[in-house]
Structure 1
Amino acid sequence: MGRPENPLDPAAGPVQRFACALRELRRGAGTPTYRTMARRTDFSVTTLAAAASGERLPSPAVLAAYVQACGGDVAEWERARRAAHREESARPPEEGEDTADPPYRGLARFEIDDSERFFGRERLTDELIRLVREHRHVIVLGPSGSGKSSLLRAGLVPRLRGADEEPPAAIRILTPGARPVHEHGKLFVPAPGPGETWVVVDQFEEVFTLCRDPRERAAFIELLLADGDGRLRVVLGARADFYSRCLEHPGLATVVRDASLPIGPMTRAELRAVIVRPAAAAGLVVERALTARLVEETADEPGGLPLLSHVLLETWRRRRGRTLTLDAHLAAGGLRDAIAQTAERVHSGLTQDQAELARRILLRLITPGEGAQDTRRPVDRAEFDHGEHGDRSDTDAVLDRLVRARLLTVDAGSVDLAHEALITAWPRLRAWIEADRERLMAHRRLTEAAALWEELERDSGAVYRGTRLSAAEERFCVPGGQDDFTAAEREFLAAGLAARADVHRACE
């Protein structure tokens, strides 16, 4: 009788479960020793014992020998082995297991330091460089997911810095936010010294989605259209569905007419470069079948670049050796389902309370569209501290899970969706938005009003009054209606209710 085998837990994974089944097959055959089985096959005792060790799946040849020695059906067991392999391939490494630097960015945009792995946009970068040299004000227009932010950061900025001509005095990158003049006005003052100052305004559509004050919006547009005494150049990046909004302003309409760069779909050669060249730079190989499939699918997918980048990252995480395989791609969910699969994997690992907290976090990061697509909404980390209705450590834990999964980004205290593709590609998030759309829109307006109230040092003239106060009271002054409010939002609404009560008392 040979040495007893180490115990296995079939719940530990498909490899261990398959090994347990092999051991059961051997027991059903009368538990022949591995030496006896070796005499019936061309494999050694060690090789046959390893097949049922639970450390890895056996090769087809070893499996066939093991099963034949135990009187089993080889074809049936080979089908089971393939199923176990697919299931195992679908399991990405545990957090911290893979310390290699990924060659793909996933949902995150390319940053300035990523220029060495920013492939497939060389032609477009050349066109943008030519345009910005000819015009002081340029706008880049493209649908969500076309790569505008990456083009500006990893394409334009490194080329400006490395130009043979006079280097820029400064390059400043910003996103407008809710108060663009208040937050960024000083960035339009040219830097001292020789050279021009470049201001890159990414996600310019925020002047329409986040900036609710028409006067502030108009002032910001006038600011960016100024020429800074001939020492300022401005490059805008905006979603194409805000094209008509840009035409509402005569100065912007002129920029759109004279100096706009539309971002269309990539050519197939450019898509191949996006897929293959980052892997090659990291010493990896992409299966030809996988490359062909991704090119075919992405070429017909509007705004498909974030989907492509994410599924490539997830395929890389499931790589075997140096090769990114079609099997690993399918295990990751494929082009259209990989984002949802990643998000659902994170969601399923949360407790019920954490899942509710994740829902609140994600919804606070979204501005529901009013006649336009829903957009992301970068927020200060402090907005997630709900005082008596939430614990910071719980919030930090959930944020950390979402950030590690590359669904969110955190930068200088600001939290944001990694990409708006998450809104459209994750059915659960879409369902949350649709179920809460009217309330979300009302909450966004209240958040902005509360921020202005705080900025005005809680001026009583800035609180809600009349019908706005009554509508907010009806919607939010119900059990649980303010659980996702910040302390400032609760105090803002309470101040409006208190002011109304004071008026009623004065009239009695």
Structure 2
Amino acid sequence: MTGDIPQNHAEFQAEVKGAQVGDHNVIYNYFYYREEVKPTSVDVADEYLPCPYRGLFHFGPNDADVFFGREIFIAELYSATQTHNFIPVLGASGSGKSSVVLAGLVPKLQKAGHWQFTHFRPGAVPFYALAEALIPLYAPELDQTDQIAQTRKLAGYLFNSTVSLADVFRKIQQNHPNHRLLLIADQFEEIYTLCNNQEIRRKFLDCLLASLETPTSLSSSATVLVTTMRADFLGNALSYRPFADVLQNADVKLGPMNREELTQVIEKPAQKLGVTFAAGLTEDF
């Protein structure tokens, strides 16, 4: 794909200018900081057991073996991918929306096979963030430097509607035959909190919505778009009628865990390390 972002879109140029790979916690591969904890006393057992809890860090695909308590909701999401191409996940801040998608749904689909995944957060420059997430699947032959250049070009083409997102999905499908694409837009409320340009915001929503197949023609190879968004931004989403129409009866709501689920979150990661709790210790919470 050749050509540069048209210069007559000054506002878009200003938003994109300076954006580089790594500016957003976005794409394709997931890396999470893990602190290495070392024994501080000679009294510590020779075989040191790592802490099985992630604390305030959210869970990613590599944490699926210690992610518990959301099995029912994960099964619901998995079922939805078989019949829906748009799955908006709504929940309160801190309810675990990102974790249930990245550490729950993604590993379950990986186990099923025949899926490709990529992930982004809209940030202040949503077209760039989207393009950055897609380029490794769209043009996998490029080195990292060329991917940066092509990301800027693709962002401009998507913004100008020169290339549609559906065109990009078709190319990815050609690159990965017999696979479906799961596109995850995490923390989707950022299009309201970080993207301050209403024109760009609406163009971005139009770009995403236009790529979705209608339910009556949903093909076995259809791309699935999953968004995670704080429920307190639902009013913002409903204020734009095209988005409101698509959201009707489509959202999946993530509520708080019940006692049984909370017990699993506490006990099962420790059990994987062969550690048990004193009787009744986890009952008083």
Instruction: Give the TM-score, by structure 1 length.
Output: 0.37
Deviation at 1:292, TM superposition (A): 1.2
Give the corresponding residue for 2:105.
156
2:27 alignment counterpart: none
Deviation string, structure 1 residues 135-190 (Cα, Å, up to 9, x no partner): 111100000111101001011111111116xx12x211111111011232362522
Alignment of 1:310-329 (within 5 A): none
Q: C-alpha deviations, 1:89-138, integer Å up to 9, x for none?
A: xxxxx964366421111000011011111111100001111122211111
Report the counterpart of residue 185 of structure 1 in structure 2: 131
| Partner residue of 1:259 out of 247, 250, 255 | 250
Q: How many angstroms does 1:250 deviate by?
A: 2.5
Contact 1:131 1:259 in 2 (8 A): no
Equivalent AA in structure 1 for residue 39 of structure 2: E
Q: How does 1:98-497 map to 2 (within 5 A)?
A: 100-163=49-112, 167-168=114-115, 170-185=116-131, 187=134, 189-190=168-169, 191=172, 192-194=175-177, 195-227=179-211, 231-294=222-285
CA distance in 1, matches of 2:129, 2:67: 30
Alpha carbons of structure 1 residues 285 and 277: separation in structure 2 relative to 1, 3 Å: same
Corresponding residue SS for 2:248:
helix
1:217 alignment partner AA: R
| Letter aligned with residue 193 of structure 1 | H
Amino acid at match of 2:224: R
Kindly indicate whether the alpha-carbon contact (under 8 Å) linking 1:144 and 1:239 is maintained by their aligned counterparts in 2.
yes
Q: Is the 8 A contact 2:122 2:185 kept in 1?
A: yes
* Unmatched 5+ stretches in structure 2: 1-35, 41-47, 135-164, 214-218
1:105 aligns to what SS in structure 2? coil
Mark the structure with the bigger radius of gyration.
1
Structure 1 runs of 4+ aligned residues shifted over 3 Å read 228-231
Distance 1:150 1:289 in 2: 28
Relative contact order: is structure 1 or structure 2 higher (C-alpha 8 Å, sep ≥ 6)? 2
Tell me the matched-pair count.
198
Give the letter for the 1:97 counterpart.
P
Instruction: Give the deviation of 1:242 after TM superposition.
Output: 0.6
In 2, Cα distance between equivalents of 1:224 and 1:151? 22
User: In 2, distance between residues paired with 1:221 and 1:185?
Assistant: 14
Contact (CA 8 Å) 2:118, 2:183: kept in 1 or not? yes
Within 2, Cα distance between the matches of 1:288 and 1:265?
25
8 A contact 2:61–2:103 mirrored in 1: yes
Q: Which amino acid aligns with 2:77?
A: L
1:283 and 1:155 map into 2 onto residues whose CA distance is 23
Q: Does 1:97 align with 2:39?
A: yes
User: What is the correspondence of 1:36-51 to structure 2 with a 5 Å cutoff?
Assistant: none
What is the CA–CA distance in structure 2 between the aligned matches of 1:95 and 1:176, rounded to whole Å? 34
TM-score (norm 2): 0.64
Given residue 174 of structure 1, which amino acid in structure 2 is its aligned partner?
F
Structure number having the greater helix percentage = 1
Q: Deviations along 1:313-351, whole A, 9 cap, x unmatched?
A: xxxxxxxxxxxxxxxxxxxxxxxxxxxxxxxxxxxxxxx
Distance 1:249 1:290 in 2: 49
Q: Hey, what's the Cα distance between the residues in 2 that align with 1:122 and 1:181?
A: 33
State the alpha-carbon separation in 2 of the partners of residues 129 and 178 from structure 1: 30
> Residue 287 and residue 257 in structure 1: after superposition, are their counterparts in 2 closer, same or farther (change >3 A)?
farther
Report if aligned partners of 1:141, 1:238 keep a CA contact under 8 Å in 2: yes
Instruction: Give, in angstroms, the shift of residue 228 of structure 1.
Output: 6.4
RMSD (Å) for aligned C-alpha atoms: 2.1
SS of corresponding position for 2:112:
coil
1:244 Cα shift? 0.7
* Contact 1:132/1:235 (8 A) holds in 2: no
The verdict on how the C-alpha distance between 1:181 and 1:207 changes in structure 2, with shifts beyond 3 A counting, is same
- 1:264–1:183: structure 2 CA closer, same or farther, 3 Å change rule? closer
What are structure 1's unaligned runs of at least 5 residues?
1-93, 295-508
